[in-house]
Amino acid sequence: MDINVILSEYCVPIIVAVCYCIGYAIKKASFINDKYIPLIMIFLGGISGILLKGFSYQACALGIVSGAASTGINQIYKQLFKDKDVTNDSK
């Protein structure tokens, strides 16, 4: 299956973007422990899916997947662009 098909069927880009921004703000504000941010994003995504698509299980599931995807995107970004000089100094 093509990644574009998966993203278009199971992910809502606006929910991903909103959850990513809110998660980033929570992380920078540091008033909530980092281990709870993915759970908050999943919950927020589910609520957002219901608000955007109407009350149904499919809308909630799309929102949950989109909220979880925002956490995954953050982790991909951190792994791709982490500082390479720190790892070279440990040798």
What's the confidence (pLDDT) of residue 74?
Answer: 85
The per-residue pLDDT of the chain, averaged, comes to 83
Domain count, the chain: 1
Is 65 contained in some domain?
Answer: yes
Is 59 contained in some domain?
Answer: yes
What gap in Å lies between CA 27 and CA 37, rounded to an integer? 8
The answer to whether the predicted template modeling score (pTM) of the entire model surpasses 0.95 is no
- 21, two tokens: 């921004």
Is 2 contained in some domain?
Answer: no
- List CB contacts of 85: < 8 A, sequence separation 6 or more: none
Is 39 contained in some domain?
Answer: yes
Tally DSSP H helices, then E strands, for the chain. Answer: 5, 0
User: Given pLDDT bands bounded at 50, 70 and 90, which one contains residue 91?
Assistant: very low
Is 49 contained in some domain?
Answer: yes
Domain that holds residue 40: 11-82
